[in-house]
Amino acid sequence: MARVAFLGLGVMGFPMAGHLAAAGHAVTVYNRTQARAAAWVARHGGAMAPTAAAAAAGAEFVMACVGNDDDLRAVCTGAAGAFAGMAGGAVFVDHTTVSATVTRELSGLARAGGLGYVDAPVSGGQAGAEGGRLSVMCGGAEADYARAEPVIAAYARICRRLGDAGAGQIAKMMNQICIAGLVQGLAEALAFGEKAGLDGKAVVEVIAEGAAGSWQMVNRHATMLEDRFDFGFAVDWMRKDLGICLAAAAEAGASLPVTALVDQFYADVQRQGGGRWDTSALIRRLR
């Protein structure tokens, strides 16, 4: 078992860190809101620290799941950042969805300081984090990944190294591109069925078993039909991710016309006051 620090105890990080503790790892947590860290310790044991650097001191692995590029830089760098507290040879594992640019920047800083770095964004949402069934897409040196993978396994259904630093983030962008198109298609189909007078649940029972079936269809159609959107990944976070996708595509010379369109549809949902609704709320703008 390993000495592990976990930085960021949001809806994903809180249960992920819990799985590490349940697997027998010695876990120290850090969260900007200390009350959240105290609640984690009350539930799972372990320890809490006042800064990322203090949490990382003595840890063999430091996992992070924070908000965006700026949050990740803040938790990694500076006197209170994780890199300042990590000993040579320790490995930083970033589960945040951020740009490949900041990943490569921070990976370079880590390597210069004698640290390992693995970018390891996840897919599966809050339910996947709570159930320990996340898909983890990784980038980084083979040796760093090989050391980190058994620790990541505490909350992963599948975990793969896909290339050097930044590869995990590119893979996560591909994941979000796929989800955006799928959710928009599902929203259009369900809204069309409503207007045509069909029972959406009955239709989904049939078509989910055919070529149209998807995780989104199986897990989100019922709540979409019931006009409930308090499940899973928030629209605000999806727009953050799609912004990363579109910027990276422009840099690479790739065309993402459907993604760009769905991003604007999510902007419509935000203007309706749905920034914290889950991503299936696309159907709202069609009703």
Whether residue 54 is found in the same domain as residue 106: yes
d(CA 69, CA 248): 14
How confident is the model at residue 260, as a pLDDT? 98
Whether residue 158 is found in the same domain as residue 210: no
Whether residue 7 is found in the same domain as residue 142: yes
Alpha helices in 57-124 (DSSP H): 69-76, 82-85, 100-112
267-273 contacts, C-beta under 8 A, 24 or more apart: 267/239, 269/235, 270/235, 270/236, 270/239
Whether residue 106 is found in the same domain as residue 185: no
Catalytic residue among 172, 195, 201, 240: 172
pLDDT, averaged in runs of 10, over the chain (287 residues):
97 98 98 98 98 98 98 98 98 98 98 98 95 98 98 98 98 98 98 98 98 96 96 93 97 97 98 97 97
Domain count along the chain: 2
How confident is the model at residue 182, as a pLDDT? 97
d(CA 169, CA 158): 16
pTM: 0.94
d(CA 233, CA 30): 23
> CB of 266 within 8 A of CB of 242?
yes
Give the structural domain span for 21: 3-164
How confident is the model at residue 238, as a pLDDT? 97
Domain boundary, last residue among 107, 142, 164: 164
**Residue type for 161, please?**
R
Whether residue 152 is found in the same domain as residue 193: no
How confident is the model at residue 207, as a pLDDT? 98
Domain boundary, last residue among 131, 164, 197: 164
Whether residue 181 is found in the same domain as residue 157: no
Please give the torsion angle defined by the CA atoms of residues 146, 100, 93 and 35, in that order, rounded to the nearest 10 degrees: -160
d(CA 81, CA 94): 14
User: Catalytic site residue 172?
Assistant: yes
CATH number, domain with residue 234: 1.10.1040.10
CATH number, domain with residue 119: 3.40.50.720
Whether residue 213 is found in the same domain as residue 256: yes
The CA radius of gyration of the chain, in Å to the nearest whole number, is 20
Whether residue 206 is found in the same domain as residue 280: yes
Whether residue 188 is found in the same domain as residue 154: no
**Residue type for 205, please?**
E
Domain boundary, last residue among 132, 164, 196: 164
